[in-house]
Amino acid sequence: MDIALAIGYTLFSLLIFPGFITISAISLLVEWFVRKTVARMQNRMGPAYVGPIGILQPFADFFKLLLVKRYIDQRYSNPLLAVVGVGVGIGALTAGLLLFPLSPIRFSSPYDVIVFIYLMILWPFISLIIISLAWPNPFVVAGVSRAIALAIVTEPTLVASILIPMTILKRYPDITPYSVYYTSTNVWRLWIDTGFGIPQYIATLILLIVSLITSIIAIQSKIMLKPFDIPEAEQELIAGYATEFSGLIYAFYRLFHDMKIAILILAITYILLGGPAPFKHLSIEGFLTLLAKYIALAFIVSLVRGAFGRFRIDQAITKIIKYALIPSIIALIISFIM
């Protein structure tokens, strides 16, 4: 009975909450929020026709692609490979949610951050390559090559950024080391704990702020939003590796892209900002605190997207190295020796 109950909870967590259905809805809402915010910044309307203030427009777009638009077969294309790539990417992101405190059933252990990196950083990128290999098109090849060039500097930056608070938390003997769950539920202590002395507290705050800034830059690059949307440069590559996407495949590719945005923002909300802390999850205060932190990060991502034009690939790599990769690595080294 206990095994059956555990299996039931796991399936519920994977499929319902916070699984595929819930995170898909949240992802489409985040797409609406980003599009609406950027549109207002640029004096445009943004989504406006489907639902109140256009909030259901991403849902309408998804189901239109899924049910109305047909898939256009291309010579030498392999749609099955694309479906596998999208499915693996969405599955990896969904499974990664089981590491966070909001899941009814959670998996936590020392150094489970390795699982987080594997599911939420490595596999989404591999999935993108698998999807792109389904269409041997010059624009696709150029877009993927740019994505790989960005990933070489983006992925280490994101890993270093999330390891900073986990490394600092080693000073507390009661916390499981390098665990996503225990970091998410205890990182708030780093923001307020002066028990180790004011100089160390100030140093901790500086490291956390560096981690937060560099992680936002890394997310912006990883999900390829402006100014890091070079792999999707329509004027140069006709949407890059998404050139040949259509119908059902394009619907789930867009959902996969939106899920990366929503889940990575959620990860930073927990790992760096403590989620609902200092309140509990099952409280109104905790829910409102979690929502406020999440919306604030989504707004920052939208603000950066709306405020910058597209970088060239060499500019993007240089700026990520200068303003994100090097600071995050230096902060991580300092956190080890503190």
Instruction: Please write the tens of the pLDDT for every residue from 24-72.
Output: 999 999 999 999 999 999 888 888 888 898 999 999 999 998 888 777 6
Q: Alpha-carbon distance 56 to 67, whole Å? A: 16
When pLDDT is cut at 50, 70 and 90, the band that residue 134 belongs to is confident
Which one-letter DSSP state was computed for residue 239?
Answer: S
In contact, 241 and 128? CB cutoff 8 Å: yes
130-144, 179-193, 290-304: least confident range: 130-144
Of the candidates 50, 48, 52, 79, which has an alpha carbon nearest to the alpha carbon of residue 251? 79
Q: Calculate the alpha carbon distances from 165 to 103, 120, 127, 183, 299 in Å.
A: 21, 18, 28, 7, 23
Cα atoms in the 13 Å half-sphere on the side-chain side of 85: 22
Residue 205's pLDDT is what? 95
User: What 3-state DSSP class applies to 201?
Assistant: helix
Residue 246's pLDDT is what? 73
66-104 pLDDT, tens per residue?
Answer: 888 777 677 777 888 888 899 999 999 999 999 999 888
Specify the DSSP element, H or E, that contains 157. Answer: helix 138-168
Residue 309's pLDDT is what? 84
Q: Calculate the alpha carbon distances from 324 to 160, 217, 267, 269 in Å.
A: 10, 7, 18, 18
Tokens of 254: 């867009």
User: What 3-state DSSP class applies to 177?
Assistant: coil
Residue 323's pLDDT is what? 94
Of these ranges, 14-18, 104-108, 215-219, 280-284, the one predicted with the greatest mean pLDDT is 215-219
Residues 6+ apart with CB under 8 A from 80: 134
DSSP 38-107: HHHHTT---S-SSSGGGTTHHHHHHHHHHHTSPP---TT--HHHHHHHHHHHHHHHHHHGGGSTTSSS--
In contact, 183 and 190? CB cutoff 8 Å: no
For residue 153, is pLDDT > 90?
yes
Q: Count Cβ atoms below 10 Å from residue 59 Cβ, excluding itself.
A: 17
Residue 1's pLDDT is what? 47
Place of tokens 């307020």: 192
Torsion (CA) 125, 126, 132, 133 in degrees, nearest 10: 160
In contact, 250 and 189? CB cutoff 8 Å: no
What's the chain's average pLDDT? 88
In contact, 94 and 101? CB cutoff 8 Å: no
Place of tokens 């867009």: 254
Tokens of 264: 């990575």
CA 331 to chain centroid, in Å, comes to 21
Torsion (CA) 272, 18, 87, 293 in degrees, nearest 10: -30
| Region 285-310 average pLDDT | 93
Residue 235's pLDDT is what? 58
Tokens of 216: 């936002």
